[in-house]
Chains A and B, each alone.
Chain A
């Protein structure tokens, strides 16, 4: 701790400025990338960006604050249904729709967070699972409002005229999603560096110790739940725009589990891990989707092959990089640094995300 304090002044750039500079750099790179690739790749890029928002939010809750949620797909559904209901018969500017979706998901998240703060371990998992199972049923039960199994359609945002008539709408959607993802990441990164972020971690590591240090444990947990729900709401809203449809089948338990697997594969508790996890989530189904009809295998085998490959990748990732892709990369970095400088590593196997070099 003393060493950390002594080192603090050497980081002369303020956190916000550093994060903003990184985000602008990433934005320029992604803008160039999205202009070079085809419309379908832009479409996938948008999906990655949307998942980054949801996965990063879940990672703050589960990885940073230590609350397990199996129900984040349902919180995305709240954002998506808010968007679809607002847009039904009205033409509302995108930014207002996004804000409304974030607000509604945060509200539900706060209510649920208050309940969740009283629950631990398997009870919390069970309660959030109930949310994931139960919420989509409401859409089927009140089908006159929510459109039932067929869901509600959403018109994707069209590119503005100044981009030209030939500008692919998928690229415009990708830009919107990337912008939203970068804003979310910058805000979360700053939050995690602040005293709020430190309380999140303190509560995760030892509740009693955190309480003795003057942190209101329950309130901190509710805060984390709200931040996480807001991200899920934003992702859900963009998801509705992106897919053009909000239907209960799109927000089943499978989605919640996918989000959870993304934070584990990417790296628990790290924002860059959320990016890695989201890329895996999108890219594997996109690559394996055509196998069923292109391989001359018995259809019972070929039909299930993409799912089998997806499952195998998850299992392999767990075996090869148990700390997630981000943890694996950071460990490689540490190893490389040790080899080149010859300095003995003080790394003890647990990665501290604030200072991953182990210093």
Chain B
């Protein structure tokens, strides 16, 4: 116990020295400027910005998702190594909640009360984060870029400090539904979805676009039961030629394998949540004990809101791949890692826009009033005083025989109840430093 305390003290003093050196360097840089760094808010000192998160590092949601926070941290380390934010280093403390909402409630209080983080960033999961969203807002802690597409985060009167990030599942469902109507007209469509907020919100969006008479069967599953054979058989029996799948990766893989076993080969349309090619390839190989792999993914339709992770020619992918190789090479290179880094990029954009000495309420105001642009996202951010959604849309894409993801058609944007419109903006390129200016 004592030696541990000593070690912590020792490492803290080392950090302090490093920070002090960094601070001196920063002072030298900004000698001409009139302002200097102050401890403007909890979690902000002259040399540090401390943020926290709750993540499923262990437990049922850990495969894949446990990579997100370390990947975001890799981007923060890259920023820290290149001067930080106004000379401040970002310290990212992510705690394990095992995807258990009760644990989330407990570790979030640790972040707020004990570690005194400036903001909670990218906390993962719908049921887990619903457990703490009231608490964070009553404590007035910025709750940025929740890693879940539930539209529950877009409630500006009840949750003024909470902001979503990824496109909400209903918007995604609408754009997928429109694609199916346009490209598979006259075909019978079946639904396969997770029986919770995630699947039900997706279905809500699909139903807004699909003709009800085209939907031949609606099947759902709960993540605790891995036998999906009855549902897949029912979809097959209904004659569905297209199956829309609102599934997490493990259940996308289970559905594909079960269908293949039943000799059922519909066109699969899978939500972005459950369609990352490297993750699925790994799961398919594991579940089938090596019998099949990526070949089951050929022809799958999905959607993306970040550049495809396999597109090595994309400047954003090049940048993030290079950061991945330098700072987190023990992680696989896949969609989860890209997700973490992209979210981290949005955070750096936001905290820079909030100015040299940000406050908690100032950060919220900045997000609502500054149009953030020029990030890796394909669709624009939706942040405004009455909208706390992140990306407003997605781009439909197909998966080729070699596992590559090819976009099909333009980026579309929408809202939960509004119409779908084509996004006119063009993709951005990263700044040469790799850090938003």
* Chain A positions within 8 Å of B73 at CB level: 293
Q: Give A296-319 interface residues, CB cut-off 8 Å to B.
A: 298-300, 303-304, 306-307
Verify A249–B106 contact, CB threshold 8 A. Answer: no
**With an 8 A cutoff between CB atoms, is B17 at the interface?**
no
Verify B126–A40 contact, CB threshold 8 A. Answer: no
Q: Which residue, A292, A300, A306, has most C-beta atoms of chain B within 10 A?
A: A292
**With an 8 A cutoff between CB atoms, is A170 at the interface?**
yes
* Chain A positions within 8 Å of B325 at CB level: none
Q: Give A1-49 interface residues, CB cut-off 8 Å to B.
A: 38-41, 43, 47
Verify B95–A293 contact, CB threshold 8 A. Answer: yes
Verify B115–A170 contact, CB threshold 8 A. Answer: no
Binds B, one of A59-67, A115-123, A224-232, A240-248: A240-248
Verify B114–A247 contact, CB threshold 8 A. Answer: no
8 Å CB contact of B126 from A150, A290, A294, A300: A150
Binds A, one of B97-105, B292-300, B392-400: B97-105
What is the 8 Å Cβ interface bit string for chain B, positions 108-125, against chain A (1 contact, 0 not)?
011001110000000000
Verify A293–B94 contact, CB threshold 8 A. Answer: yes
**With an 8 A cutoff between CB atoms, is A153 at the interface?**
yes
8 Å CB contact of B105 from A40, A243, A286, A293: A243
**With an 8 A cutoff between CB atoms, is B305 at the interface?**
no
Binds A, one of B62-70, B205-213, B230-238, B376-384: B62-70
Q: Which residue, A43, A148, A244, A249, has most C-beta atoms of chain B within 10 A?
A: A249
The verdict on A304 contacting B93 (CB below 8 Å), with A150-B130, A151-B101, A250-B101 known, is no
Q: Give A119-177 interface residues, CB cut-off 8 Å to B.
A: 137, 140, 148-151, 153, 170
**With an 8 A cutoff between CB atoms, is B319 at the interface?**
no
Q: Which residue, A148, A250, A293, A307, has most C-beta atoms of chain B within 10 A?
A: A293
Verify A299–B101 contact, CB threshold 8 A. Answer: no
* Chain B positions within 8 Å of A250 at CB level: 100-103
Verify A170–B131 contact, CB threshold 8 A. Answer: no
* Chain B positions within 8 Å of A286 at CB level: 110
Verify A294–B93 contact, CB threshold 8 A. Answer: yes
* Chain B positions within 8 Å of A151 at CB level: 101, 127, 130-131
* Chain B positions within 8 Å of A307 at CB level: 58
Q: Give A258-298 interface residues, CB cut-off 8 Å to B.
A: 286, 289-290, 292-294, 298
Assembled-state Cα–Cα distance A147/B197 (Å): 11
The size bracket of the interface on A is: 35 or more
What is the 8 Å Cβ interface bit string for chain B, positions 50-87, against chain A (1 contact, 0 not)?
00000001100010001101100100000000000000
Verify A40–B114 contact, CB threshold 8 A. Answer: yes
Assembled-state Cα–Cα distance A270/B138 (Å): 41
Verify B134–A38 contact, CB threshold 8 A. Answer: no
**With an 8 A cutoff between CB atoms, is B92 at the interface?**
yes
Verify B196–A150 contact, CB threshold 8 A. Answer: yes
A108 vs chain B, min Cβ distance (A): 21
8 Å CB contact of B131 from A244, A289, A293, A303: A244
**With an 8 A cutoff between CB atoms, is B263 at the interface?**
no
* Chain B positions within 8 Å of A137 at CB level: 224
* Chain B positions within 8 Å of A40 at CB level: 109-110, 113-114
Verify A249–B109 contact, CB threshold 8 A. Answer: no
A300 vs chain B, min Cβ distance (A): 7
**With an 8 A cutoff between CB atoms, is B330 at the interface?**
yes
Verify A249–B94 contact, CB threshold 8 A. Answer: no
* Chain A positions within 8 Å of B423 at CB level: none
* Chain B positions within 8 Å of A39 at CB level: 113
**With an 8 A cutoff between CB atoms, is B96 at the interface?**
yes
8 Å CB contact of B113 from A43, A243, A292, A293: A43
* Chain A positions within 8 Å of B94 at CB level: 292-293
* Chain A positions within 8 Å of B126 at CB level: 150
B56 vs chain A, min Cβ distance (A): 9
Verify A290–B57 contact, CB threshold 8 A. Answer: no
8 Å CB contact of A243 from B102, B222, B328: B102
Assembled-state Cα–Cα distance A247/B97 (Å): 14
B49 vs chain A, min Cβ distance (A): 15
* Chain B positions within 8 Å of A243 at CB level: 102, 105-106, 131
Verify A289–B110 contact, CB threshold 8 A. Answer: yes
**With an 8 A cutoff between CB atoms, is B331 at the interface?**
yes
**With an 8 A cutoff between CB atoms, is B144 at the interface?**
no
Nearest B residue to A148, CB-CB: B196
Verify A249–B100 contact, CB threshold 8 A. Answer: yes
8 Å CB contact of A244 from B66, B96, B107, B135: B135
B401 vs chain A, min Cβ distance (A): 31
The verdict on A303 contacting B115 (CB below 8 Å), with A149-B196, A151-B127, A293-B73 known, is no
* Chain B positions within 8 Å of A306 at CB level: 96
* Chain A positions within 8 Å of B224 at CB level: 137, 140
Among all A-B residue pairs, the 7 with the closest Cβ atoms = A250-B102, A40-B113, A303-B57, A40-B114, A299-B70, A298-B330, A245-B131
Q: Beyond the given A244-B134, A247-B131, A290-B110, could you list 16 further A-B residue pairs with CB under 8 A, ordered by the A residue number? A: A38-B113, A40-B110, A140-B222, A149-B196, A151-B130, A151-B131, A243-B131, A245-B101, A249-B100, A292-B94, A292-B95, A293-B93, A293-B94, A298-B330, A299-B328, A299-B331
A-B contact pairs, 17 of them (CB 8 A): A43-B109, A47-B106, A150-B126, A153-B130, A153-B131, A239-B102, A244-B105, A244-B134, A245-B130, A250-B100, A286-B110, A289-B95, A292-B57, A293-B93, A299-B328, A303-B58, A306-B96
